[in-house]
Amino acid sequence: MTPVELREYIMGLAASAGFDRCGVARAEPIGRGDYVRRWLAEGRAGSMDYLHRNVGARLDPGEILPGARSVIVVALSYNQPPPDPPEDGRSRGRVAMYAWGDDYHEVIREKLRTMRDRMHAELVTPFETRICVDTAPVIERELAAAAGIGWIGKNTMVLSRKLGGYFFLGVMLTTLEIAADEPVVDHCGSCTACLEACPTQAFPAAYQMDASRCISYLTIEHRGDISKPFQEMMGDWVFGCDVCQEVCPFNRKAPATHEPRFAIREPGLRPALDDLLAWDDEDYRKKLSGSAMQRAKLEMLRRNARIAIENVARGRVSPPPQEVGHPPPVACP
């Protein structure tokens, strides 16, 4: 097959595997390498020391798979409408949408392996691959932007006019020469809804994030104590945060996911805080088996629950998107 024919073949495989989007980028250094180095040097990774390792590979995917020529990037939506919260009078926390269902790592890895196995069975040309789903030092969002999946928005998330922002990314590096896609145009326009809505002011400027201030980082990645000022800004979030996604106009009409494994499972999107606080090791293992919420240790979830309990009691909770203190954002050009 020619590189163009290979691209069409890969697009078909991705669609048959159940992915919503697929794009191809060249296996070459990312375009914002200087920004990443500066971001790390300024301490914006917080206590995520692992991000300071293998920086060369993060900036150049070719270092991960010797001889790599192409990067296949896939996207899978997890968007779904939230059900009404239980009306039982109990204090409840909030979980980011990406963790409502089964662990996305396994779902995407399985689909990528299906693609890879078919490629090895059907292509005559010998080649090598490496599948990466948050398990290798690659910066998926940069590769996704290069592959035309979407553009990196002002909240530093990859956004798509068709899918919005609620989607997972997966990467397959390969030594195959595949025709690359072109990056898409940035459609954020003058909208600043995400920057204004962030409870912790984690965006020092458009297209920049200080992860050390982000609620997702504080509730999932940060292992130690959380300072009192940040505790008061965390609201009722106990795992992750969706505020900048909730106010994004591109998520207003985004299609719902078709992946059944992302259906809401225990503990759901609004766990009872006293239940969460009472979990022991067995509860943690049983209730979170196969869930992305296992990224946070039990003691971290208890810490988050204690903070949320106080915030709920004091009325410091995240309001619905339409009540976030600015007019609804208009569709951007």
113 burial via Cβ count (<10 Å: 0-12, 13-18, 19+): middle
CATH class name, domain 3-82+101-174: alpha beta
| Confidence grade of residue 319 (pLDDT, cut at 50, 70, 90) | low
Closest to 65 measured CA to CA, from 153, 156, 176, 196? 176
Segments of the chain assigned to CATH 3.40.109:
3-82+101-174
Catalytic choice (134, 186, 275, 283): 134
- DSSP label at residue 228: H
Lookup: tokens for 82: 């939230």
| Known catalytic membership, residue 134 | yes
Statement: residue 328 has pLDDT above 70: no
Dihedral (Cα; 217, 105, 180, 251), 10-degree rounding: -60
Residue bearing the bigger pLDDT, 147 or 53: 147
- What is the pLDDT at residue 318? 67
- What is the pLDDT at residue 331? 38
225-260 exposure pattern, b = at least 16 Cβ within 10 A, e = fewer: ebeeebbebbbbbbbbbbbbbbbbbbbeebeebebe
For CA atoms 122, 20, 140, 269, the dihedral sign is negative
